[in-house]
Amino acid sequence: RRAPTLRVWEWASPAVVIGSFQSLRNEVDPVAAERHGVTVVRRISGGGAMFIEPGNTITYSLSVPDALVQGLTFADSYAYLDDWVLGALGDMGIKAWYQPLNDIATEAGKIAGAAQKRVVGGGAVLHHVTMAYDIDADKMLEVLRIGKEKLSDKGTRSAKKRVDPLRRQTGLAREAVIERMIGSFRGRYGLTEGKVTDEEMARARDLAGTKFGTAEWTARVP
């Protein structure tokens, strides 16, 4: 219904976004989430839990025809759809690579995680990525359940170390990182400015109210 779209969006408040196939009980500490004012939601794509704070996160999505990834495995399609990001990071002095299945990593640690949804019968692919610009690792570890094997001091330090934010690696302001990323995409593929239409926004609000914003959806057992 619309042209292939790159969308970069902002967050108004803290959130944890869990994957479509994850268990809410296994992934999130509800007491800690409430204490820190973190809203928990579930997305339609797979992948792991993402800890989000406004100003600390860069999030973008690509909605494209499935013909673009036809013949590619899931692993190959992740790397293919994010190759422009690796180029942008390289231009900022960061040597990054795709770590199967869906992580963007550097020698210092993970900086991003991707998720994907292929719409059966719809001919479309939704691919989206959460990047750590900065991170409050202590708060993240309170809100997310990191598994019994990581509950030791050593394990907690390891979990903190696994994510290395772009702010430290680039020394650039968040807005500058986003501008360079968009510039990289525009240089490769071209871009035309667009916006969410009133009809799309109305449909989104309706879906949030009747499905994606409900406790039944968020707490459903996959």
Encode the chain (222 residues) as per-residue pLDDT tens digits.
789 999 999 999 999 999 999 999 999 999 999 999 999 999 999 999 999 999 999 999 999 999 999 999 988 999 999 999 999 999 999 999 999 889 999 998 889 999 999 987 879 999 999 999 999 999 999 999 975 444 444 444 545 556 779 999 999 999 999 999 999 999 999 999 999 999 999 999 999 999 999 999 999 987
The pair of structure tokens assigned to 89 is 């990071």
Say if 61 falls within a structural domain. Answer: yes
Question: Quick check: bond before 6 cis, omega within 30?
Answer: no
The pLDDT score that the predictor gives to residue 1 is 76
Say if 126 falls within a structural domain. Answer: yes
Say if 167 falls within a structural domain. Answer: yes
Within 10 angstroms of residue 176's Cβ, the number of other Cβ atoms is 12
Say if 103 falls within a structural domain. Answer: yes
Give CA separation, 203 vs 33, 124, 208, in Å.
28, 18, 9
**CB 189 within 8 Å of CB 178:** no
The pLDDT score that the predictor gives to residue 164 is 76
Which amino acid belongs to residue 33?
A
Say if 14 falls within a structural domain. Answer: yes
The pLDDT score that the predictor gives to residue 34 is 97
Say if 180 falls within a structural domain. Answer: yes
H helices of 49-95, where? Answer: 74-81, 83-91
Q: How far apart are CA 80 and CA 61, in angstroms?
A: 14
Say if 222 falls within a structural domain. Answer: no
Q: How far apart are CA 170 and CA 122, in angstroms?
A: 39
Q: How far apart are CA 102 and CA 86, in angstroms?
A: 13
The pLDDT score that the predictor gives to residue 159 is 53
The pLDDT score that the predictor gives to residue 162 is 61
The pLDDT score that the predictor gives to residue 199 is 96
Give the chain's domain count. 1
Domain limits for position 141: 5-217
Query: Which of 3, 132, 7 has the alpha carbon at shortest distance from 58?
Result: 132
The pLDDT score that the predictor gives to residue 155 is 43
The pLDDT score that the predictor gives to residue 153 is 46
Task: Find the CATH number of the domain harbouring 141.
Answer: 3.30.930.10
Q: How far apart are CA 22 and CA 187, in angstroms?
A: 37
